[in-house]
Amino acid sequence: MRITSGVMIDNMMRYLQKNMAKLDKLNQQLASGKQFQVPSENPTGAATTMSIKDAITGSEQYIRNIERSSEWLSNNESALDNAGKILQRARELAVYASNETLASEDKDAIALEIDQLREELMNIANTKVGDRYLFSGMKTDTRPFSESGSLAAGVDFNGDSNSLEREIGPGIKIGVSVDGYSIFKDGIDTLQALSEQIKNDTPATVGGVTINDTQDAIGFLDTIININLKQRASIGAKVNRLELAKSRLEDQKFQSEKLLAKNEDIDITKVITDLKMQETVYRASLAVGARIMQPTLVDFLA
């Protein structure tokens, strides 16, 4: 092949250009920390990045849902815990009141305390977290329990029995409501009936709960305390399930983030090494270029 200085210079320029392009790519990678900037540089990588990011978004949101559900459930739990203590105290008072030898002042005092306990139970039944009532089902803006004003009717329940549902994974839902009616409606009415019975020493009926003597009350309270315990056990189980789901999601998220980093982040050591090598190559090609621009015969002819 006949080589002219034009051919050599063209070739040199081309190789310089190629080496510059490689340097530029490595520089971009270093500056952005990413292996590719646009999908065409690595279509599979870009698609993978998008779907991993999608998965991370999902995990993050479900974790957020779980955290809020756990918080809601633990609010329920502590309310039920307090309700349990009140019911327990009421049961103790009922046992105490069943003592035949009790003076009437003492009975009055017991009745008074039971009235106070009822008030407190009412407060707990109407617990509000943020601007939402815990025990009114889906009618979260409605105060669930209110005084009806009539002994026969007992306390009014204004909520519903629907359970709030939370999504903790794609299509996986969990109910986070406690049926307040069975604990609080019966509990409050029982306490009121008990107080009436002790005050007047006659059978009392409040909201469908009839108490002939303190033994009746103890029986009813035991049932309610039992229901309360079951509810709390169920909440505990749910919180456990949420914890498990959360740690699984966090694990997934961690794995996804690792994958994402592997997929698109540069290996800095490698890129810097490559860059150094490329710089050397570029310098070499410049040096070669300087040599290629050889003197011609012109320089030697007088």
Partner 1 sequence: MNYFNTIETALRALRAQQKAMQVTGHNVANANTEGYSRQRAIQTATRPYAYPGMNMPAGAGQVGTGVEVSQIERVRDQFIDGQIREEAQSLGYWEQRYQGLHRMELIFNEPSDTSLSFVFNEFWKSLEDLSVYPEDTATRATVRQRALNLVDGFHSLDDQLVDYKRALNEDVKTTVEEINSLARRIADLNEQIVNVETTGQKANDLMDQRDLLFERLSKLVNVRGSVDGENNLSVTLGGSTLISYGEVHELETVPSGNAEDAVIFKGTSVAVNATGGKLHGLLELRDKEIDDYIGKLDDLASRLITAFNNSHNSGYGLDGSTGIDFFRGSDAATIDITDEIKDPVDGLNRIAAAKDVDGDGTPDIPGDGSNALDLAEVVRESKLFSSNTASFMDYYQSMISTLGVEGQRADQMVANQNVLVDQLKNQRNSISGVSLDEEMANIVKFQQAYNAAAKMISRSDQMLETLLSII
Which stretches of the chain bind partner 1, using CB under 8 A? 1-7, 10-11, 14, 38-44, 46-47, 49-51, 53-54, 57-58, 60-62, 64-65, 68-69, 131-132, 136-141, 160-162, 164-167, 170-171, 173, 296-298, 301
Nearer to partner 1, 149 or 170 (CB): 170
DSSP structure string for 101-165: T--HHHHHHHHHHHHHHHHHHHHHHT-EETTEETTSTT-TTS-SEEE-S-TTT-EEE-S--PPPE
What is the nearest approach in angstroms of partner 1 to the Cβ of residue 21?
10
Strands 165-169 and 172-175: antiparallel
> Taking the complex as a whole, how short is the minimal distance between the CB of residue 46 and partner 1, in angstroms?
5
- Helix/strand/coil (H, E, C) string of 168-192? EECCEEEECCCCHHHHHHHHHHHHH
Looking at the Cβ atoms of 195 and 263, the one nearer to partner 1 is 263
Token pair belonging to 295: 């003197």
Nearer to partner 1, 64 or 283 (CB): 64
Q: Which is nearer to partner 1, 9 or 229 (CB)?
A: 9
DSSP structure class, residue 265:
B
Q: Is the Cβ–Cβ distance between 45 and 35 less than 8 Å?
A: yes
- Which of 138/259 has CB closer to partner 1? 138
Question: In whole angstroms, how close is the CB of 79 to partner 1 at the nearest point?
Answer: 16
Instruction: State the minimum distance, in angstroms, from the CB of residue 162 to partner 1.
Output: 5
How far does the chain reach from its first CA to its final CA, in angstroms? 29
CA distance 81 to 132: 19
Q: Whole-number minimum distance, CB 301 to partner 1, in Å?
A: 6
Nearer Cβ to partner 1 (32/88): 32
186-200 helix and 43-97 helix, angle to the nearest 10 degrees: 10
Give, as one character, the DSSP assignment of residue 166: E
Instruction: Mention every residue, 6+ apart, whose C-beta is less than 8 A from residue 73.
Output: 176, 235, 238, 239, 242
